[in-house]
């Protein structure tokens, strides 16, 4: 076979391979639209913030309490923020008008903050004494003065779902604090000494003395006797479900 024929054969082979690759290659993903991206993110991030969703009137989240210090939550939210940040950066900022650029910059800042925050070990420090930790916040919510409504029977039953979520959060907090001790990531002793009386205040022998009993003591006037009886019997104050056993066990083993 002549060199010319060999050369022609090689060129033809390369051309054939290139043609096949061109036919089978996936077309590039279309450029995302900023408005669609922001809307889709808002939809996808909502399950991570059920209290905010409830405030927005999304009643399907009224039974949920996010375990935001748990590994599954943190991993999922980090992946979500990373994915949307990558998509956002594919948008040509120069092609946007001024209001759109402002929206884009704020969206980018929020996503970057999400990523950066989830790289920090704050989940190993779930308790503090200034009211920002969930035990303090949930006590306010449980009194009926927070974001969870107590107007209908369904509201009361939904809160029991959040009680279950709170118990899970407490278990995770104890495990995380033990991990923090092993890694040397802990709150100052002076802070935690002040926290203990706040937690002890929720440990009561009589459920009627608990702040979580207030929604029962202030049933809406529209509730009939049967509804009041059922809710009184089925509502178990969160403090009695988690504080004495789980927190006491945590103290003994810490």
List Cβ neighbours of 178 (8 Å cut-off, separation of 6 or more).
250, 253, 254
CA–CA gap between residue 156 and residue 212 (Å, rounded): 12
CA 210 centroid distance within chain: 27
Q: What's the pLDDT tens digit per position in 66-111? A: 999 999 999 999 999 999 999 999 999 999 999 999 999 999 999 9
pLDDT range class, residue 246, cuts 50, 70, 90 = very low
pLDDT digits (tens, 9 = 90+) for 39-57: 999 999 999 999 999 999 9
Q: Supply the mean pLDDT for the chain.
A: 83
- What pLDDT score does 11 carry? 42
Domain ranges of the chain: 28-120, 124-254
* SS3 of residue 179 by DSSP: helix
Q: Quote the CA–CA distance of 74 and 68 in Å, as a whole number.
A: 7
Spatial contact of 207 and 111, defined as CB atoms under 8 Å apart: no
Angle at 160 (CA atoms; ends 155, 164), nearest 5 degrees:
145
């Amino acid at each position: 076979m002549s060199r010319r024929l060999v050369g022609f054969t090689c060129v033809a082979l390369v051309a054939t391979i290139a043609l096949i690759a061109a036919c089978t290659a996936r077309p590039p993903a279309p450029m995302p639209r900023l408005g669609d991206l922001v809307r889709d993110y808002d939809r996808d991030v909502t399950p991570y913030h059920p209290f905010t969703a409830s405030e927005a009137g999304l009643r399907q989240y009224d039974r949920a309490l996010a375990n935001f210090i748990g590994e599954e939550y943190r991993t999922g939210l980090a992946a979500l923020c990373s994915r949307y940040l990558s998509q956002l950066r594919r948008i040509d900022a120069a092609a946007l008008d001024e209001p759109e650029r402002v929206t884009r910059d704020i969206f980018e800042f929020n996503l970057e903050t999400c990523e950066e925050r989830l790289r920090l070990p704050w989940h190993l420090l779930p308790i503090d004494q200034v009211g920002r930790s969930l035990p303090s916040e949930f006590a306010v919510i449980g009194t009926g003065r927070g974001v969870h409504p107590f107007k209908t029977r369904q509201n009361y039953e939904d809160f029991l779902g959040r009680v279950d979520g709170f118990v899970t959060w407490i278990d995770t907090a104890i495990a995380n604090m033990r991990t923090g001790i092993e890694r040397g990531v802990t709150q100052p002793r002076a802070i935690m000494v002040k926290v203990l009386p706040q937690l002890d205040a929720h440990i009561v022998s009589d459920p009627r003395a608990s702040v979580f009993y207030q929604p029962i003591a202030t049933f809406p006037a529209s509730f009939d006797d049967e509804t009041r009886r059922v809710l009184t019997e089925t509502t178990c104050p969160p403090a009695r479900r988690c504080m004495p056993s789980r927190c006491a066990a945590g103290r003994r083993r810490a």
